[in-house]
Structure 1
Amino acid sequence: MKLLMIEDNVSVCEMIEMFFMKEEIDATFVHDGKQGYETFLKEDFDIAIIDLMLPNMDPRQVFSREQLLEQVWGYQFYGDERTVDVHIKRLRQKIATDTKPFLHTIWGVGYKFDETE
């Protein structure tokens, strides 16, 4: 498995890197949001772990279904745009709390991540 971890806290990365090495996971660590995004686009990763509050990133940006499909599944995705809705629902079930939903629907536009609302 080839993994990309985008995390600005170097000590957290060092600790996780020791675990990944023990488990023989091929991991690339990047400490800046913009650089992480560029690395993600250049290389083929099986999974990405991303700190959502990274420097040089705006977590309140709204993404359309089309943008999410292109970034996650690529331009050659032949499924329905509603696939995104199903995955958003599953993510909400996993990360939401009773007081904070984190993933918000912006009707007519798309989705955004915002832990302040």
Structure 2
Amino acid sequence: MKVLVIEDNESVCSMIEMFFVKEGIQGEFIHDGKEGYERFLNGQWDLLIVDWMLPGMDGVTICRKIRESKYEVPIIMLTAKDSESDQVLGLEMGADDYVTKPFSPLALMARIKAVTRRVHYISKNEESANIIETNHFKINKDTREVFLDGEPITSLTPKEFDLLYYFIQHPRQVFSREQLLDRVWGYQFYGDERTVDVHIKRLRKKISTSTHSFFHTVWGVGYKFDETVD
């Protein structure tokens, strides 16, 4: 795994690097936001870890610019900001996960594994593809392509894709926020369950049509995906 870390605190970088060595992760560490963003553009990365507060360019701006450019690399944001509004902002800008300082290196490693576990790559010579087709959607798990009524949807973040794929696999089933965090995020989430709400809100904006919203809130329980109702 090749990971770019954009973090201006050298002590934090040293701690992360130590655990990267233990886990066999190839890490590159940049201490300036603008320099880190340029390095991201000029490399191939399996994961980006970015601090919120950075010289040159802040982490939220980096996330936004990456998502606007349609890059699908998973992003974990590190920050000393722990308010609900800050977390929601980070997720809205495209981060897949949010780790508040100070943090346990072991917990960060668990988050890294969970975020990257569901990002799949296939070679050009792969003959088979894991494809689901419904009345409105065609979704390829291996190439991570999504088509809505024949038109490609190219703006999904990796976690949005994972969430949509999971729901399409389980049409009309109702899932609580806790179940979705466990099954899509892949670990017991100890933060704010609004993470799910933010991702559902973004998916609704990106895939809803004039006749279908697809994602439905089941009050007091959670969410379900249903193509059969508007």
Per the TM superposition, whether the score is higher than 0.5 is yes
CA–CA distance in 1 between the matches of 2:63 and 2:24? 36
CA–CA distance in 2 between the matches of 1:102 and 1:71? 19
User: For each residue in 1:31-78, what CA deviation from the matched residue of structure 2 results, as whole angstroms up to 9, or x when unmatched?
Assistant: 1101100110011011111112212224369948xx72524149xx97
Q: Which has the higher contact order (CA 8 A, sep 6+)?
A: 1
The AA in structure 1 aligned to 2:43 is E
Q: Would the alpha carbon gap of residues 18 and 56 (structure 1) be closer, same or farther in structure 2, given more than 3 Å must change?
A: same
CA contact (8 A) 1:5 1:50 kept: yes
CA–CA distance in 2 between the matches of 1:10 and 1:98? 31
Structure 1 runs of 4+ off > 4 angstroms? 60-64, 93-96
CA–CA distance in 1 between the matches of 2:62 and 2:26? 30
**Counterparts of 1:61-76 in structure 2 under 5 Å?**
63=64, 68-73=67-72
Normalising by structure 2, what TM-score?
0.33
CA–CA distance in 1 between the matches of 2:44 and 2:62? 24
**Counterparts of 1:1-117 in structure 2 under 5 Å?**
1-58=1-58, 59=60, 63=64, 68-73=67-72, 79-81=152-154, 83-84=156-157, 87=160, 97=192
Normalising by structure 1, what TM-score?
0.60
The AA in structure 2 aligned to 1:46 is D
Secondary structure of the residue that 2:4 maps to in structure 1?
strand
State percent identity of aligned pairs: 39
Q: Which runs of 5+ in 2 are unaligned?
A: 74-143, 146-151, 164-180, 203-230
CA–CA distance in 2 between the matches of 1:30 and 1:42? 13
CA contact (8 A) 1:3 1:28 kept: yes
Q: Would the alpha carbon gap of residues 61 and 33 (structure 1) be closer, same or farther in structure 2, given more than 3 Å must change?
A: closer
Aligned residues: 100
CA–CA distance in 2 between the matches of 1:102 and 1:14? 32
- Structure index of larger Rg: 2
CA–CA distance in 1 between the matches of 2:71 and 2:54? 19
CA contact (8 A) 1:69 1:81 kept: no
CA–CA distance in 2 between the matches of 1:61 and 1:20? 23
CA–CA distance in 1 between the matches of 2:20 and 2:62? 31
CA contact (8 A) 2:33 2:62 kept: no
CA contact (8 A) 1:8 1:31 kept: yes
Q: Would the alpha carbon gap of residues 43 and 11 (structure 1) be closer, same or farther in structure 2, given more than 3 Å must change?
A: same
Q: Would the alpha carbon gap of residues 102 and 56 (structure 1) be closer, same or farther in structure 2, given more than 3 Å must change?
A: farther
CA contact (8 A) 1:5 1:28 kept: yes
Secondary structure of the residue that 1:5 maps to in structure 2?
strand
CA–CA distance in 2 between the matches of 1:34 and 1:61? 8
